[in-house]
Amino acid sequence: MGRQLQRYLDGVIDAETAALIEAHLEDCRRCGLEAETYRQIKAALAARRLPPPPDAVQRLREFGLRLSRGDRSP
């Protein structure tokens, strides 16, 4: 899920896969939280005003580590 989730959040995924991911985010709290964290970071960076919340940064780091290890669960 991880890599596709990241593509989805970056908006670089086909519509059919995006719909599947949206359905998964509705059902899967863990992926939903990851998606929300990623959105918060991107929004903070886009705003270029305040640094992202430290806890969100930490969670994104852990998310990135899991992605780099190839953990696609669940």
DSSP secondary structure letters along 7-68: HHHHT-S-HHHHHHHHHHHHH-HHHHHHHHHHHHHHHHHHHTSSPPPHHHHHHHHHHHHHHH
Closest contact distance (angstroms) between CB of 27 and Zn ion is 8
Q: Does 9 help bind Zn ion (rule: CB under 5 A)?
A: no
- Dihedral of alpha carbons 55, 56, 57, 60, sign: positive
Q: Candidates 10-18, 25-33, 39-47, 50-58 — which segment interacts with Zn ion by CB under 5 A?
A: 25-33
Closest contact distance (angstroms) between CB of 63 and Zn ion is 12
Q: Does 31 help bind Zn ion (rule: CB under 5 A)?
A: yes
Closest contact distance (angstroms) between CB of 30 and Zn ion is 5
- Which residues here bind Zn ion, judged by CB under 5 A? 28, 31
